[in-house]
A = this chain, B = another copy of it.
């Protein structure tokens, strides 16, 4: 079992109704890898700049995340995102994006990164996702994206989606991509593009899984403290794919494993939003993860 993740490695400055932080460690690959590291061996691929120090690397290596595919560009700066949330914490408002070292990023995966059995293509420009996909020999590949690429790089994104097993998007993005206002119809249209597994993320309302076996829905855990939702979708993907990579049997995922993976994804996302940046997930114990899985079961199960 092994999992390679490509995506942004970033500094995030975030303001929410519950506080603000400057230049926290963030990015889709970082949030994903921290969540996935509770389940399997993870390797992060992506560029950082001269401002990325040992302190940031240590957050990853302390969770035994392999960092030798993190490329350091000494004459560049790390990707930077500044954003804020108002009282509807389901909606992120972007105030500033600096691509920095990502502008000229040309992924070159190490042999170990290519050979990982599972690949996560985090939310970056779809041409980069396709480039990484071509280098990988993974048996299960998942892709995340966003409205920006649906609007500005649609053809490349469709080509990227055609070549993966699993698509993860917000429900609104799934509707936008397929131009279908109904979520069930949108999911079916997305499966017709290539992926056999489609996950619709729904913020505080949880997530839905669509496969040929039919739909599965998991609600969000009702939390009293939601301090910063940044990275929740990537934490979800990390729990989901990390668990699938850990239990994979002959390269196939059965429905039972996929549902359990949805629960683990929700567990990791629920921790992520409880504090700013990576603070909550990086400090988690396996016991806390197990307890929260039980909380999800208690939240959702009923007896006929």
A interface residues (Cβ-Cβ under 8 A, vs B) = 87, 181-185, 202, 205-206, 208, 214-220, 222-224, 226, 256, 259-260, 262-263, 293-294, 297-304
Contact = CB atoms under 8 A, between A and B. Distances in A.
A259 B302 contact: yes
Contacts of A301: 259, 300-301
A13 to B, nearest CB: 23
Most buried by B among A185, A222, A224, A293: A222
Contact of A219 (B214, B218, B294): B218
Contact of A217 (B256, B294, B300, B304): B300
Given A184-B223, A222-B183, A222-B208, A214 B298 contact: yes
Given A181-B87, A205-B202, A302 B224 contact: no
Given A181-B87, A222-B184, A304-B293, A215 B260 contact: no
A303 to B, nearest CB: 6
Given A181-B87, A301-B300, A303-B259, A222 B226 contact: no
Closest 10 CB pairs of A and B: A217-B219, A259-B302, A205-B205, A184-B224, A184-B222, A215-B222, A300-B300, A217-B299, A263-B302, A87-B181
Contact of A260 (B219, B260, B294, B304): B304
Given A208-B222, A218-B219, A304 B299 contact: no
Contacts of A182: 224, 226
Nearest to A298: B214
Main secondary structure of the interface of A (DSSP, over half): mixed
A182 B300 CA distance: 20
Contacts of A222: 183-184, 208, 215, 217
Nearest to A182: B224
Contacts of A263: 302
Contacts of A298: 214
A256 B185 contact: no
Contacts of A208: 219, 222
29 contacts: A87-B181, A182-B224, A182-B226, A183-B222, A184-B222, A184-B223, A184-B224, A202-B205, A205-B205, A205-B206, A206-B219, A215-B222, A215-B299, A216-B299, A217-B219, A217-B220, A217-B299, A218-B219, A218-B302, A256-B303, A259-B301, A259-B302, A259-B303, A262-B302, A263-B302, A297-B302, A300-B300, A300-B301, A300-B302
A178 to B, nearest CB: 13
Contacts of A184: 222-224
